[in-house]
Chains A and B, each alone.
Chain A
Amino acid sequence: MNAVKVDKVLKTPQQGGLRQAMAWLHTWSGLWISWLLFAIFLTGTLAVFDDPIGHWMTPEHALEEAAHANDPPLPKVTDRAHRLELALDFMAKEHPKADMWEIWPVQRPGHGLSAYWFQPSGGYGSADLDPLTGAVIEHAREATERETIGGHHFVDFHYELHAGRIGVWIVAITTMIMLVALVSGVITHKRIFKDFFTFRPAKGQRSWLDAHNAVAVLTLPFQFMIAYTGLAFFSDDYVPAPVVAQYGMDNPKKAFLADWNDAGKPERIGQPLAIPALESFALRAEQAIGQEIRAVVLDNPNDASMRVCMYGWNEDTELLMRLSANTGRACYALATGEQVAVRLPGKSDTGGAGLTRSVMSNLHMVGFGGTPMRWLYFFCGLAGTAMMGTGAILFLVKRRQKAGGEFGAYTQRVYRVIACLNVAAIAGLSIACVGFLWANRLIPVGLEHRAGWEVRAFFGVWFLMLVHACLRAEKRAWIEQLCLLAALCLLLPVLNVLSTGDNLVAQVVRGDWESAGVELGSMAFGLLAGWGAWKVHTRKEKPARKAAAKEGPAPSASLQVTTEGQS
C-alpha cells in the first residue's frame, strides 16, 4: 500500500464533516459500552417484573398464598388507638434514647403492627409486635423457607452490578455514554424519517443495520427517558458540587437529604413533655390528607419540641392516575396540638423541584399506571436491549465484509476478542439470567447464605459462558449458547414440576398469573433463542467480496466508519 492511496482512503473524523465525526463517535463509544449496557438493559427490563419473579422464586409462599386465596378478607383494624399505645410503650421501654420513633399501626398485608427506629450504629432497626399484647414477635426462619433475594437481584444488578457504590458509578458512566451514543446516533442517521419503518430481512449487514435503527428510532422517546431519569435518580451522588456548596464539606449529603425529605424537623428544647394519645392526631390527619394512615413518625419523643407526622397509604387506584408516588403527610406540634405541615397525596413539600425529582424516579421505576404500563416498559426495554445487541453484532458483521484495520497488525485479534465478548454478553448473560432461576430450584433449601449462592451462580454461569465463547469458533459459540439458552428457558416449567410439583396448568387454574407469567415468558424467550440458533445454523457464509458487491450502495453510508482501512 503506497502513501498516495493511504491519503485517499484514510479520512479522519475531522475531515468528514459533522455526520462522519458523529458516526465515528457513535461506533466507538457505542461498541465499548454495548456489552455492559446490554446487561443493564436486559436486567432492568426483567426488573420491571421483579415482584412476579420473586413470587415464582418463593414457591412455598406462593402455594401458601394460593391456599388462602379464597379466605374472606381480614376485618379492618378497629383498635388502632390501642396498637399505637402498645408500640409507644415498647419504644419507651426498649429504645427511649432514639430521637425518632416510627410506628406502622396497620401494616399491609396482614394488618400487623411494626415499630422502626434509627440504630445508634446507623441504619434502621425494626420489630414486629403482637397487636393484642405488644410482645415482640420473633421471626425464626423455618428450615423449609427458601432464602432468596428473588427478582430484586435483577433490580440490584441493573443499577449497581452488585458492586455497591463503585457499581453505581460504573452504571452512571455507562449511561452517560449511552446518552452520547443516542445523540450521535440520531445525527448520524440521516435518513431517519425516510427509513422510519424500514426493515429489510435476510440481507446480512443491511438487515442488522435496519433492525438496529428501527428499534432505536421507534422507541427513541423511551430510550432517552429511561437513560435520563436513571441518571437523575442518583443526581445528588453524581453531581455533588451544588450540595457541597450549599451545606459545606461536613457530611453535606445527610444535611441535604434531611432538608429535602423533611424541612421542618424540630430541634430538641430539653424540657420534658409527656406523649399524648396519638389516635386523635391520626384521625385529624386522615381528614386532612384523605388517605388511611400508614406510618406515624414521632420526632424528639418526650421533649417539648415533639412533633408527630402521619403518612398515608397510596392505594393502587391512586397510583394509576398519578406520576408522583408521594403519599399524603400531615404533621402536628404536640406541645400545642397545632397542625404545622400538610402535604396532599401526589404533591410535594419541596416545591416544583421536589416534585420533579420524585416524578423522575417514579418514571424510571414505573411506579404508576399499573400492570399495562409495566408491560409497555417491558416491551420498550426489550427494544432497547435489542438496540444494544444489534449494534454490537453489526460492528462485526460490517467488518466481516471488509476489515477496518483499525488496530493495525492486531486488528484480527481485537475482532476475535470483540466476537467473544459479543457472544458472552448477549447469549451468555441471557443464560446467566435464566440460570439464576434454575439455581433457585437446584440449590438445597437449607443451605447457609443461600441467597448469596444464587447470585454467585448467576455470575458463575456468566463467567463460564465467557470462557466457552473464547474457546469455541464464533459461529459454534453462538449456536451452542443459543441452544443452551433455548433449552434452559423451555425446560423451566419442567424444572418447576420436578422440584416443587407445581405446574403451569395448576398455576393458571388457581389464577396465579404471576408464576404462570414467569414460565410463559421464559418459554417465549426460549422459542426466540431456538429460532436464533436455527438462523445462525442455516446462515450461508457468502464470500466476503461477492456479498459486498451484491448489496450495492450500502444504506450504511449513514453509519460509515471513517477509517476505511487498507483494502
Chain B
Amino acid sequence: MINTILCALGLSYAGMASLSLAMDRHHGQVWGRDAAPNVRRALQLAGALLLALAIWPCVAGWSATVGVVAWLGFIGAGALPVALLLPYAPRLLLRSSLLAAVAALAGLVTFLR
C-alpha cells in the first residue's frame, strides 16, 4: 500500500510541478525568463502524462472504482505543495519534482506484475 501512495503522490506532484513550470509566471520564478514555445509544450505534455500515469498505481493498489476517487484526491494533494513551494523555494520545487518523477516512474515497475 505504501508503494501505491508514494507512487501516486510522486506522479501527481511531479505532474503538477511540470504543468506549473510550463506557465510563464512560474517558469520565470525558477529560470528568470519565459519558457520557449517548444519547452512549454514539452512541459505541458510531461505534466499531463505524469498526471495520467498517476491513475495506474491507484487502480492497481485499490480497484477501478476506489482508484479513480483516490486519483482525484492525489491530484489535489500533489498540487497544494507546488503552489506553496513556488514562491518560497522554486529551486527546491524543481529538484524535488524531478526526483519525485524519477522515483515514482521507477516505482511503477512494481505494478507491472
Least distance between B66 CB and chain A CB atoms (Å):
5
The distance in angstroms between the C-alpha atoms of A200 and B19, with both chains bound, is: 18
User: Please, which residues of chain B bring their CB within 8 A of the CB of A321?
Assistant: 62-63, 65-66
Residue of A nearest to B80 (CB): A218
Q: Are B72 and A323 in contact (CB under 8 A)?
A: no
Chain B contributes a number of interface residues (CB within 8 A of A) equal to: 28
Q: Are A373 and B23 in contact (CB under 8 A)?
A: no
B26 at the interface (CB under 8 A from A): yes
The distance in angstroms between the C-alpha atoms of A194 and B24, with both chains bound, is: 10
Q: Are A323 and B76 in contact (CB under 8 A)?
A: no
B109 at the interface (CB under 8 A from A): no
The distance in angstroms between the C-alpha atoms of A145 and B23, with both chains bound, is: 59
The distance in angstroms between the C-alpha atoms of A377 and B84, with both chains bound, is: 19
Q: Are A214 and B83 in contact (CB under 8 A)?
A: yes
How would you classify the secondary structure of chain A's contact residues: helix, strand, loop or mixed? helix
Least distance between B56 CB and chain A CB atoms (Å):
16
A369 at the interface (CB under 8 A from B): yes
Identify B66's interface contact among A196, A219, A369, CB under 8 A: A369
Instruction: Known contacts A197-B86, A198-B83; decide if A221 and B72 are in contact (CB<8 Å).
Output: yes
The distance in angstroms between the C-alpha atoms of A86 and B77, with both chains bound, is: 52
B20 at the interface (CB under 8 A from A): yes
Tell me the chain A residues, 351-376 only, with Cβ under 8 Å from chain B.
363, 368-370, 372-373, 376
The distance in angstroms between the C-alpha atoms of A197 and B97, with both chains bound, is: 15
Identify A380's interface contact among B26, B73, B84, CB under 8 A: B73
Tell me the chain B residues, 15-30 only, with Cβ under 8 Å from chain A.
16, 19-20, 23, 25-26
B112 at the interface (CB under 8 A from A): no
Scan B1-34; emit 1 where CB is below 8 A from any A CB, else 0.
1001100000000001001100101100000000
Q: Are B63 and A322 in contact (CB under 8 A)?
A: yes
Q: Are B5 and A198 in contact (CB under 8 A)?
A: no
Least distance between B82 CB and chain A CB atoms (Å):
6
The distance in angstroms between the C-alpha atoms of A459 and B54, with both chains bound, is: 43
Least distance between A113 CB and chain B CB atoms (Å):
34
Q: Are A219 and B70 in contact (CB under 8 A)?
A: no
Chain A contributes a number of interface residues (CB within 8 A of B) equal to: 29
Tell me the chain B residues, 26-69 only, with Cβ under 8 Å from chain A.
26, 62-63, 65-66, 69
Scan A315-337; emit 1 where CB is below 8 A from any B CB, else 0.
00000111100000000000000
Q: Are B25 and A198 in contact (CB under 8 A)?
A: yes
Q: Are A201 and B72 in contact (CB under 8 A)?
A: no
Q: Are B87 and A200 in contact (CB under 8 A)?
A: yes
The distance in angstroms between the C-alpha atoms of A194 and B20, with both chains bound, is: 10
Identify A322's interface contact among B1, B66, B80, CB under 8 A: B66
B98 at the interface (CB under 8 A from A): no
User: Please, which residues of chain A bring their CB within 8 A of the CB of B63?
Assistant: 320-322
Q: Are A201 and B66 in contact (CB under 8 A)?
A: no
A379 at the interface (CB under 8 A from B): yes
User: Please, which residues of chain A bring their CB within 8 A of the CB of B73?
Assistant: 222, 373, 376-377, 380
Q: Are A323 and B25 in contact (CB under 8 A)?
A: no
User: Please, which residues of chain B bring their CB within 8 A of the CB of A369?
Assistant: 62, 66, 69-70
**Max chain A CB contacts within 10 Å: which of B5, B26, B82, B87?**
B87
The distance in angstroms between the C-alpha atoms of A322 and B67, with both chains bound, is: 9
The distance in angstroms between the C-alpha atoms of A226 and B55, with both chains bound, is: 21
Q: Are A221 and B66 in contact (CB under 8 A)?
A: no
A453 at the interface (CB under 8 A from B): no
Identify A199's interface contact among B16, B23, B83, CB under 8 A: B83
Q: Are A376 and B77 in contact (CB under 8 A)?
A: yes
New contact pairs (6) apart from A197-B86, A201-B87, A363-B69, CB-CB < 8 Å: A214-B83, A321-B65, A323-B66, A369-B66, A376-B77, A380-B77
